[in-house]
């Protein structure tokens, strides 16, 4: 529950190592938000911001954010950062983050808003996210709608098919609802993660 660039290392053999398991949680079932600080803000999933139950798919959201950042060189959702300085005094960092989500992904699904309202009525500690129920309407007025693909600013020097596969993978990870995101095992089967193996196989055949 704390995937971010700082927690992903590469050793001398080009093997990826994930570190810092201080926020690690059991994967048995769905976890209900209890007011603890979960995930670093720029990589935190919508369901956590909204105080909803969550599971391993919060990490899939974080992975999507990280992959885009590796390509563009900038955080995908940097709510509460200097680029929001002109209006940050009018909103807290969570509000700013959710506004960023709305810009790229569209309005928060009604089902998630309603579920979050129920969580608040049940006295679940939503920390600084109590404003979220007003976000769906206000954010669409304040923010110009964009598409997720608009963050793709790196020249496409590689094979077009590779980039298309990459963005298909990314858009699957960055979905509002965790129900619509792949779980880790499903994500591992995506064609993008097997491109190199396919190319190596072709090279051996040649």
Helix (H, G, I), strand (E, B) or coil at 22: coil
Q: Measured between alpha carbons, how far is residue 185 from residues 58, 72, 165 in Å? A: 14, 26, 18
Q: How far apart are CA 141 and CA 94, in angstroms?
A: 18
Residue 81 contacts residue 124 (beta carbons within 8 Å): no
Q: How far apart are CA 53 and CA 30, in angstroms?
A: 6
Q: Is 128 a catalytic residue?
A: no
What angle in degrees, to the nearest 10, is found between the helix axes of 135-142 and 93-105? Answer: 70
- DSSP string spanning 94-135? HHHHHHHHHHHH-SPPHHHHHHHHHHHHTT---TT-GGGGGH
Tokens of 33: 């938000």
Residues 6+ apart with CB under 8 A from 94: 41, 49, 79, 127, 128, 129, 131, 132
Tokens of 123: 């006295």
Q: What is the DSSP letter of 8?
A: E
Please identify every residue annotated as catalytic: 2
């Amino acid at each position: 529950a704390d995937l971010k660039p700082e927690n992903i290392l590469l050793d001398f053999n080009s093997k990826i190592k994930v570190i810092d398991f201080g926020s690690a949680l059991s994967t048995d079932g769905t976890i209900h938000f209890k007011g603890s600080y979960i995930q670093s803000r720029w990589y935190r999933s919508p369901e956590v911001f909204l105080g909803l139950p969550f599971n391993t798919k919060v990490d899939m959201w974080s992975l999507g954010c990280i992959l885009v950042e590796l390509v563009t060189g900038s955080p995908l959702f940097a709510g509460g950062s200097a680029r929001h300085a002109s209006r940050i005094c009018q909103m807290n960092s969570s509000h700013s983050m959710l506004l960023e989500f709305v810009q790229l992904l569209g309005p928060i699904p009604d089902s998630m808003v309603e579920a979050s309202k129920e969580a608040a009525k049940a006295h679940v500690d939503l920390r600084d996210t109590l404003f979220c129920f007003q976000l769906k309407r206000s954010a669409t007025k304040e923010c110009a709608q964009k598409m997720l693909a608009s963050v793709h600013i790196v020249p496409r020097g590689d094979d077009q098919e590779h980039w298309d596969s990459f963005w298909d993978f990314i858009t699957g990870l960055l979905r509002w609802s965790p129900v619509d995101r792949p779980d880790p095992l499903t994500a591992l089967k995506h064609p993008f993660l097997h491109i190199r193996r396919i190319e190596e196989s072709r090279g051996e055949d040649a």
